[in-house]
A = this chain, B = another copy of it.
């Protein structure tokens, strides 16, 4: 019997810590990298990481370290769980050490501010990594760490990456599905947060479940058109990384982006709303990126545009919804050719 290969997890937030716990429980020697010595000591000494994920007793086989060299040494698979705006800096830390044969899967749901780049693009720009994938889906870390059932996706063009991700993470409580569309999976994970902000606003305004479902569905339709225009497979949006993640993000009171929408609909400024949440909501950057990407691809995305104008240009949420309701109602769903079909997207049906 071969020993299970070593896995490095980069980032000891709630998701990184949860991933390390799952991997170690599956019998893999597991290193968890964190910048903070206090976090490392807590993990190695008390097998906990209370600030990141309250109440979890981390599998004792997780070994935490602040040294990237130690974390990566001999690791077949590297899992990255780093906030999007810190992702490039961490890549630069890893760059001198990481090896081209190491497989990398990141689980970051966001785009880089200003550049609008995806995490896989940053990883490839900053390091020698080539065999990469992305992990996404409806995965609230607190639930996964408690052993509640969930499904997730590893998307990659490399079968070895998918196989390694499955071997490390699959367990009776976590089904790991396979995808091929890295681009679509990354866009879905990042941009669904904008739709979650809109859902939070509608909830707080008491507009009802119909209005919420309407805006979420129209937002998804806009996201599908953007993904298709950028070369992704629009079907990806129908999977766990798309509607799956969206359902969790829009429904759960734990979602930061949903809570941001609630706070804004109460009339708080963006700054005050972010302070009250006390955490970064990826959607704040993502709506800027979505609007820039839409413009670059010549698309009009009414829901995305209005969330951005609410957050960054002071549009009132109620007025935004009224504007959307005054738009001409076109086709319900866009029609797409498959990536291989060579047809351009059909009428966009706003």
Contact = CB atoms under 8 A, between A and B. Distances in A.
A329 B175 contact: yes
Contacts of A176: 329
A138 B213 contact: yes
Tell me how many chains of this kind the complex includes.
2
Interface in A200-222: 207-214, 216-218, 220-221
A121 B248 CA distance: 36
B248 A209 contact: yes
Q: How large is the interface on A (under 10, 10 to 19, 20 to 34, 35 or more residues)?
A: 35 or more
A209 B335 contact: no
Interface string A155-171: 10000000000100010
Interface in A315-349: 321, 325-327, 329-338, 341, 343, 349
Given A149-B207, A337-B341, A338-B341, A331 B177 contact: yes
Nearest to A241: B332
A325 B172 contact: yes
A interface SS class? mixed
B214 A244 contact: yes
B175 A325 contact: yes
Interface of A: 137-140, 143-144, 146, 148-151, 153, 155, 166, 170, 172-173, 175-179, 207-214, 216-218, 220-221, 224, 233, 235-241, 243-245, 247-248, 250-252, 254, 321, 325-327, 329-338, 341, 343, 349
16 contacts: A138-B217, A143-B211, A144-B210, A155-B332, A175-B214, A175-B327, A178-B330, A209-B247, A209-B248, A210-B248, A212-B248, A213-B240, A221-B238, A233-B335, A240-B332, A338-B341
